[in-house]
Amino acid sequence: MILRRLYVLFLVISFTSVSLPVHAQQTIEVDPVSIETRLAGQPGINGKLAVLETALAEIQKSKTPDLGLFFDLGTLRLELLLKQDKQLEAADQAAQLAQIAISQRQILNRNPLPFLRRAAVLYEEIGKYRNAIGVLEAELNQRLEGGQSGEEIARVQRDLAHIAKLQGNASQAEKYLALAEAALAPTEAGTRSGEEKGYHEVDVFYATDRKQTGETEPSDFYGYDRGDLEFGIVSVTIPDTHVPGAIETPSIWKLEFGPEPAKHIMVQKVEPQAADEYFARMQSEMKQRDRKEAFVFIHGFNTSFDAAAKRAAQLAYDMDYRGVPVLYSWPSAGKTFMYVADTAVVRLSGRRLYAFLQDLKSRSGADVIHIVAHSMGNRALTDALELLATKHTAEGKSEPIFGQVFFAAPDVDAGLFREMLDTIRPLAQRMTLYTSQEDWALVASRKLHGDAPRAGQAGQSLLTSEVFDTIDMSALGEDMLAHTYFANDSSALADIMSLIWLNAAPDQRCGLQKVDRIQKASSWKYEKGSCPDTDVINLIKLLWGESEVSVDQIKKQIKAQFDDPARIAAIEAWLDKLPPVSSD
């Protein structure tokens, strides 16, 4: 029955939402952390499966079912069924997850393709060939509707031919093979460059202590199991229609059934490399860049490798960054109910990050290295920097190792953060703490930590110090995207770019108002609408590679480009605040 619903789902234009049946009149609210705790209390697989069945039923009874949590728990159920070699149940579970991922794509943002492939393999192994063909046809339909062509389409056609042979249907197998050959035939579109196709490719150098999954699909190349430190390059496509701050994904409401480079940000290729090859490639790339520098992004809680790579590429692209973008990806489970599990692995990753940052400094060829860490990723970063600072001091060094270090919404105990940054301060040219009173994730984290304030929270517990600049970004909103305000909003991006460009102090940047505090260090509050952030971003993009330009020259260009006096005045007011760009 699951297979038939899934097959029909892919073949019709009109889709219906997957509904979660309510088994009783009573309703309950489900806490992801309590589920995680219950799972941790069950040492055996059968016990964990029982907990999952109960939790899934609880979600179905909830007044507002959390579909993301339901999906994540279903994924864990699939993993446990595979460990018990319950192949038929696992195949059906994978097919159901694919169905949910497709019908709820706009809400979940989950890729159905790995689940379809898993279901196909499992059905084949147990001799359910008709079921295997059904899910492979579903995968094919996804890819075709998404505008894909070439090798990926041919691969699915060859898999279909293989299953048809196993069924004893030689004529159908020949048809599939003929279609595979046709998919590989060159087309006019296939000979055009990426830019002509409607997208750009951004290569991000990465380091990760995630373990490879064995999957060939780039989006699922790395999982959340711990592994050794690995290096490589991940290629991400950014569509020409990209909106700054957004991560474009397929939408079921736009009849987008699969990812397409000209419409969506996609991980296209993951290329692991040996350390020597990796740093040699980075040095070669650095020599070709306008700015001999690197920008390291460290993601936060509930983030997969795929999502982290997309975010790193989006930041680099939106800034038109002229240095080399680098991602450090620690093994976050990328699941809402695995917060405690993420806290356990992130501290170990801090040790790996410490080693990587040392190598990056000595082997990258960069004159300057900037770092931004988000959310729980700040735990790895602060641990790594504290170790580096201790080594730095022991060696009698005083010069900063890094340029700008950004702590965005850090999910770190506020008191611990302040103490650590006293030690860390000599490592950086400037350190900036971005906070928000509206950060929903930090509010939840504070509850889990006995109401201990988090470093990324604004409001009464706002953290200030003479050793770092505190910026309150609460004005950017209270929606569910507030936790990633540093990347989603052009206001925060303009501030980051100003720092990387000229190391501008808070009083020299756009849209920041000083907040004086009695017996405390001052902080700064962003006032939304007070800065022409789009113009600021576009100007810095033009000036990234300029070493000999004055403010007066920039003003002349602005007056020649714009007719609106108010717009010109707003941009000039920002320029007058800046530190010297250069002398005439």
Output the pLDDT for position 579.
87
Would you state the pLDDT for residue 26? 45
What's the confidence (pLDDT) of residue 203? 97
Burial 184-216 (b: 16+ CB within 10 A, else e): eeeeeeeeeeeeebebbbbbbbbbbbbebeeee
Which pLDDT value is given to residue 146?
67
DSSP string, 128-141: -HHHHHHHHHHHHH
pLDDT (0 to 100) of residue 483: 52
Ramachandran category for residue 477: left, alpha or beta (phi over 0 → left; psi -120 to 50 → alpha): left
* 290 alpha-carbon distance from chain centroid: 26
Query: What gap in Å lies between CA 153 and CA 44, rounded to an integer?
Result: 40
List average pLDDT for each run of 10 residues in the chain, which is 584 residues long.
Answer: 39 34 48 85 92 90 84 93 95 94 77 91 96 94 77 92 96 94 71 62 97 90 96 96 78 54 89 98 95 96 93 94 97 88 93 98 97 96 97 91 96 96 96 88 81 91 94 72 57 91 94 82 90 91 77 85 89 89 51
Q: Do β-strands 402-408 and 368-374 pair in parallel, antiparallel, or remain unpaired?
A: parallel
- List Cβ neighbours of 246 (8 Å cut-off, separation of 6 or more): 314, 488
pLDDT at 192 (0 to 100): 39
Compute the 3-state secondary structure of the chain and give helix, strand, coil in percent, each to the nearest 5: 55, 15, 30
What is the reported pTM?
0.80
**Joined tokens for residue 30:** 């489900």
Structure tokens at 465: 């110090």
Identify which of 3, 547, 538, 12 has the alpha carbon closest to the alpha carbon of residue 244.
538
Predicted confidence at residue 519, as pLDDT, reads 61
The amino acid that residue 202 corresponds to is: V
User: DSSP class of residue 332?
Assistant: -
Q: What is the spatial distance between Cα 96 and Cα 495, in angstroms, rounded to a whole number?
A: 44
Q: Which residues contact 302 (CB under 8 A, 6 or more apart)?
A: 332, 333, 334, 335, 336, 338, 339, 342
- Output the DSSP codes for 117-128: HHHHHHHHHTT-
User: In what order do the strands lie in the sheet containing 402-408?
Assistant: 266-273, 222-239, 199-212, 324-329, 293-298, 368-374, 402-408, 428-435, 469-472, 523-526, 512-515
- Asked if 491 and 543 touch (Cβ cutoff 8 Å), the reply is no
Single out the residue of 409, 196, 407 nearest to residue 302, CA to CA: 409
CA–CA gap between residue 531 and residue 528 (Å, rounded): 7
Q: Half-sphere exposure of residue 200, counting CA atoms within 13 Å on the CB side?
A: 13
* Residue type, position 518, single letter: I
Tokens 């090798």, residue located: 151
Query: So what's the pLDDT on residue 194?
Result: 44
User: Which residues touch 281 (CB under 8 Å, ≥6 apart)?
Assistant: 205, 233, 273
